[in-house]
Amino acid sequence: MNRSSLITFSLFQKYLRRFYGFQEVDPAGRRKRSLSSKLKDMQSFFGLNQTGNLDSYTLAVMQTPRCGVPDVHDYVHSQGNRWTKNVLTYRYTSDLPASTVDSLIASALDMWAKVSPLRFIRSFSQQADIMVEFGSNEHGDSFPFDGPKGTLAHAFDPGEGIGGDVHFDEDELWTAGFNLYLVAAHEFGHALGLRHSQNPESLMYPTYRARKTHNLLSSEDIMNINVIYGIYPFKPWYAGSYFPMAVKEKCSPGLSFDSVTTLGEAIFFFKGGYLWIKHNNKNDVKEGPIYNFMPKISSKIDAAYWLPQRSAAYLISGTDTDSSARGRDKNISSFGFPAWVQQVDAAAHIHRTVHTLFFTQHLYWKYNEHRKAMEDSYPRNISDDFPGINKPISAAVYKHGFLHLFLGAEVCKYDIKRKKVVGVNKANSWLGC
């Protein structure tokens, strides 16, 4: 192996160790997943062909300047944290001109404040919730920078001590080369509890991209920050006739949902132009017009499901599917539906079998997410394979090992293995009613 190949292979190993948790052996000396397997994880994250080989496209991504936070959730430190207050202090130390840094840091934080209940106050004391620092190489946190380009900055999840802090590589040409405002806005997303996105249109995409500095946040970014902290105040004209579902009606005995899906650590309930978000194991429910969370969504959601292995949400409206995985729309025919299918009534992803079930009228399909194709012998009759389900399915979600089928104002807890309904409740009982 020549010198150039050795340098490339060293970069390859270092990248997978840093961002995908690659280890040849674990602390007990047992062999871990192969380098090729980890490379496939990386290729999957960036939407590349999952060859397990270091091709030119994969190497180009590895050589792109990026954020220093890992991409795989299992290796993100102190996962799932959030600030327990809405007013946060910040301070920074930098050798850059104060006039340059002041406005850029404040503007990057203000961008998040505009779409969430959070507010940020600059501190001039030695302590603050979010400490912003510029350093080079080893700078005191066990995650050294690597000189110009490469890793530009990194941040830590909310918490005590180093939690919430943001570090920038002082060896970069800030503003003259890399846009400090853009990178700071991304890193503050991490400091507030957000993870990396697979959607290239998202500000939380891990690699650096030159982009317009106005309207930086995608619908996904706005939705995710509000999943954590609740919706930001919305203008009163949103609550007019366009959104007929009033807040007080959530406990109406006849309430049904158009679609239900898990999304990360939360459950989303869609009805017309309205949305409720319930956090797992918590009683608080955030709610408001869908537009507050997803500004680009202007129609009701017929079906929705979440792919945890891709950190991707799929929202289906009529024949259109909006995917946060790639940030672009596609027609439901791309799943393999025949032309006569013009609407999906419900969808649920069974992560244990990597299948997604699609329900429409009296039929259902089984879609293989790995092969990206419908399974043979489908569609099948719902009544044949789901004994006890004798009403149209309006929404579905797979959770805690059971398939939950929403039939109008009722929800049936269905045991797939036993092919049996094991419980029936009101649909809005999931909202605490």
Residue 172 known to bind ligand: yes
Residue 432 known to bind ligand: no
Phi-psi category of 46—alpha, beta or left, where left has phi over 0 and alpha has psi -120 to 50? Answer: alpha
Residue 108 known to bind ligand: no
Residue 196 known to bind ligand: yes
Q: Which residues pair with 406 in a beta bridge?
A: 395, 411
Residue 141 known to bind ligand: yes
Residue 384 known to bind ligand: no
Phi-psi category of 311—alpha, beta or left, where left has phi over 0 and alpha has psi -120 to 50? Answer: left
Residue 24 known to bind ligand: no
Residue 147 known to bind ligand: yes
Neighbours of 175 (CB within 10 A): 14
Active site residue 375: no
Q: Torsions phi, psi of 115, nearest 5?
A: -115, 20
Residue 67 known to bind ligand: yes
Residue 131 known to bind ligand: no
Burial class (CB in 10 A: 0-12, 13-18, 19+), 170: middle
Beta strand pairing call for 119-122 and 87-93: parallel
CA distance 313 to 257: 18
Residue 55 known to bind ligand: no
Residue 320 known to bind ligand: no
Q: Which residues contact 432 (CB under 8 A, 6 or more apart)?
A: 278, 283, 285
193 close to 279: Cβ distance less than 8 angstroms: no
Neighbours of 279 (CB within 10 A): 17
CA distance 266 to 258: 17
Residue 190 known to bind ligand: yes
Residue 325 known to bind ligand: no
346 close to 408: Cβ distance less than 8 angstroms: no
Residue 139 known to bind ligand: yes
Residue 150 known to bind ligand: no
Residue 410 known to bind ligand: no
Angle at 384 between CA 383 and CA 388, to 5 degrees: 45
Q: In what order do the strands lie in the sheet with 166-169?
A: 66-67, 151-155, 166-169, 130-135, 87-93, 119-122
Burial class (CB in 10 A: 0-12, 13-18, 19+), 149: middle
The one catalytic residue in 133, 187, 265, 410 is: 187
293 close to 308: Cβ distance less than 8 angstroms: no
Please enumerate, by residue number, every residue annotated as part of a binding site for Zn(2+). Answer: 67, 139, 141, 154, 167, 186, 190, 196, 204
Residues with catalytic function: 187
Please enumerate, by residue number, every residue annotated as part of a binding site. Answer: 67, 95, 129, 139, 141, 146-147, 154, 163, 165, 167, 169, 172, 186, 190, 196, 204, 258, 302, 304, 347
Please enumerate, by residue number, every residue annotated as part of a binding site for Ca(2+). Answer: 95, 129, 146-147, 163, 165, 169, 172, 258, 302, 304, 347
